[in-house]
């Protein structure tokens, strides 16, 4: 994708003139999601996602036949049925909430062009950057909607940016690495938990469930689990929770190797077996509701908790496009622009 230089170099001095604020754009990036809750669309999505070497590290020659010959044919129809259970009138929850959140952030940054993009599928990152360039942006801040850095997610967005930048070296890019303990986001999460308690009553535990990754990656230096625990500790402190009132678990295991522990489903089964009447679950690593929160937690794990002998699993929705979330992220973006001098 060719991107002509949008900045002029001063002929006399050769120095780069400082850019007017209006040439700074924002690209909000999320994971991606199928275009429809059908086996064909889910298969297309998973084929791209699970071909990313950041996500699956099995050697290509082994992985390709396994992925296309076994995993996709079996998994796509099964997962499509799950998507169908949570699909919204306007599309996949992840797509709908990501678009709304990006728009809400944009409303809070007058004069800053804002676009959103998906790492896998549509709208693509290259199209998002092109749209911002066409709207006059001379440089772009990229905000991946991953509060905690992981090689499997954040670094994969960086990979995509690096590939695009080869053809578009003239467009300076800066990426937010992580915002795991951002005070505004943590306060917004705490307010949403309190509001949920006020409206629906309070459970005996607050379980904070994060997406898992293989333990092997953490052992190799991925800071993801440390940052998940930092988010959880900050949220527990903001809520004034004491020891034993909250716990951290990891969900959505994929494949057979050891993932981060403890697992959300196994923990809920144990809590159910002790006869707990009610557990509240919040997913602070997911800025937008998606299959993993709305189906896996709110439907599947709620049923599992009940079947094990527990009572109600009360799922506390993600921040999505809540005003406090957009306020916090717009403030974070404004600070990044200020620092980018
Ligand atoms: C913090 C966010 C995420 C991390 C880290 C992450 C790692 C990771 N995920 C898989 C495999 C799958 N994840 C799937 C869905 C999914 N994952 C995230 C976020 C993180 N993943 C989100 C937001 C979603 C939901 C997407 C949606 O459309 O709603 C899926 C697809 C569903 C399924 O087939 O079960 C897979 C597969 C791995 C292997 C991994 C780290 C190695
Ligand atoms: Fe995932
Ligand atoms: Fe899942």
**Nearest-CA neighbor of 293 among 330, 249, 252, 247?**
252
User: Which residue has its alpha carbon closest to ligand 1 atom 3?
Assistant: 211
Task: State the binding site for Fe(2+).
Answer: 211, 292
| Confidence category of residue 170, pLDDT binned at 50, 70, 90 | confident
Nearest 5°: CA angle at 235, between 307 and 246?
35
Q: Which residues sit opposite 102 in a β-bridge?
A: none
The full DSSP string for 112-141 is --EEEEESSSSSBHHHHHHHHHHTT-SEEE
Probe residue for ligand 1, chosen from 41, 93, 231, 254 as the CB with the greatest number of ligand atoms within 8 Å? 254
CA 297 to centroid of ligand 1, rounded, Å: 13
Which pair of structure tokens corresponds to residue 147? 């509060």
321 three-state secondary structure: coil
Q: At what angle do helices 183-200 and 224-238 cross, to 10 degrees?
A: 60
User: How does residue 166 score in pLDDT terms, banded at 50, 70 and 90?
Assistant: confident
**What tokens appear for 207 in the block?**
């379980």
CA 241-243-245 angle, 5° bins: 55
- What spacing in Å lies between the alpha carbon of 297 and ligand 3's midpoint? 9
CA angle 105, 108, 114 (to 5 degrees): 50
Q: Whose CA is nearest to atom 2 of ligand 1?
A: 211
pLDDT of 341 reads 81
The two tokens of residue 46 are 């998973």
Cα 314 to middle of ligand 3, angstroms: 19
Q: How far, in Å, from the CA of 192 to the mean position of ligand 1?
A: 24
| 22 pLDDT more than 60 | no
C-alpha 261/C-alpha 225 separation (Å) is 10
Average pLDDT, the chain: 93
Q: Cβ < 6 Å from ligand 1: which residues?
A: 31, 33, 46, 55, 75, 79, 92, 94, 146, 150, 152-153, 211, 213-214, 252, 254, 285-286, 290-292
Q: How far is residue 332's CA from residue 183's CA, in Å, rounded to a whole number?
A: 10
* Ligand 1 pocket test, candidate residues 31, 78, 121, most atoms within 8 A of CB: 31
Contact present, 94 and 30 (Cβ < 8 Å): yes
Query: Confidence band (pLDDT; 50, 70, 90) for 8?
Result: very low
Q: Could you tell me the residue ranges of all domains in the chain? A: 39-86, 183-316
Task: Locate 141 and state its tokens.
Answer: 């801040």
Q: How confident is the model at residue 169 (pLDDT cuts 50, 70, 90)?
A: low
ipTM of the complex: 0.97
pLDDT digits over 294-326, tens only?
999 999 999 999 999 999 999 999 999 999 999
CATH class of 183-316: alpha beta
CB atoms within 10 A of CB 89: 5
End-to-end CA distance of the chain: 26
Residue 188 Cα to ligand 1 midpoint, Å, equals 24
State the pLDDT confidence band at 165, using cuts at 50, 70 and 90: confident
Q: What is the pLDDT of residues 177-210, one digit of tens each?
A: 999 999 999 999 999 999 999 999 999 999 999 9
Ligand 1 center to residue 11 CA distance, Å?
A: 49
Helix segments in the chain, DSSP class H: 39-49, 60-66, 72-86, 93-107, 125-134, 154-167, 183-200, 215-219, 224-238, 264-273, 291, 302-307, 323-339
Token couple for 59: 């050697």
pLDDT of 204 reads: 97
Q: What is the pLDDT of residue 33?
A: 98
Q: Quick one: pLDDT at residue 20?
A: 56
Q: How far is CA 145 from CA 6, 13, 142, 204, 326, in A?
A: 27, 40, 10, 30, 12
Residue of minimum CA distance from atom 11 in ligand 1: 254
Ligand minimally distant from the alpha carbon of residue 251: 3
pLDDT higher than 80, residue 114:
yes
């Amino acid at each position: 994708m060719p991107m002509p230089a949008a900045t002029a170099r001063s002929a006399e001095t050769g120095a780069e003139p400082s850019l007017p604020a209006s040439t700074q754009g924002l690209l909000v990036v999320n994971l991606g999601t199928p275009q429809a809750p059908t086996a064909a669309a889910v298969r297309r999505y998973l084929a791209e996602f699970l071909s990313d070497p950041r996500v699956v590290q099995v050697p290509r020659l082994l992985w390709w036949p396994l992925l296309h010959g076994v995993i996709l044919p079996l998994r796509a129809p099964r997962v499509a049925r799950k998507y169908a259970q949570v699909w919204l009138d306007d599309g996949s929850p992840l797509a709908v909430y990501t678009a709304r959140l990006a728009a809400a952030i944009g409303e809070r940054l007058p004069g800053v062009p804002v676009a959103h993009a998906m790492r896998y599928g549509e709208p693509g990152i290259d199209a998002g950057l092109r749209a911002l360039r066409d709207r006059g942006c001379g440089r772009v801040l990229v905000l991946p909607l991953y509060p905690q850095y992981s090689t499997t997610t954040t670094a994969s967005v960086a990979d995509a940016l690096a590939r695009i930048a080869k053809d578009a070296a003239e467009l300076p890019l800066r990426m937010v690495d992580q915002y795991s303990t951002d005070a505004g986001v943590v306060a917004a999460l705490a307010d949403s938990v309190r509001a949920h308690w006020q409206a629906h009553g309070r459970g005996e535990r607050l379980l904070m469930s994060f997406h898992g990754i293989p333990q092997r990656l953490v052992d190799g230096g991925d800071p993801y689990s440390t940052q998940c625990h930092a988010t959880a500790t900050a949220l527990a402190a903001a809520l004034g929770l004491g020891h034993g009132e909250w716990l951290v678990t990891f969900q959505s295991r994929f494949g057979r190797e050891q993932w981060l522990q403890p697992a959300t489903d196994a923990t809920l089964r144990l809590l159910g077996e002790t006869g707990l009447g009610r557990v509240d679950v919040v997913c602070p690593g997911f800025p937008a509701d998606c299959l993993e929160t709305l189906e896996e937690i709110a439907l599947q794990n709620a049923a599992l908790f009940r079947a094990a002998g527990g009572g109600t699993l009360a799922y506390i929705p993600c921040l999505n496009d809540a005003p406090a979330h957009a306020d916090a992220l717009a403030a974070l973006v404004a600070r990044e622009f200020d620092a980018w001098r």
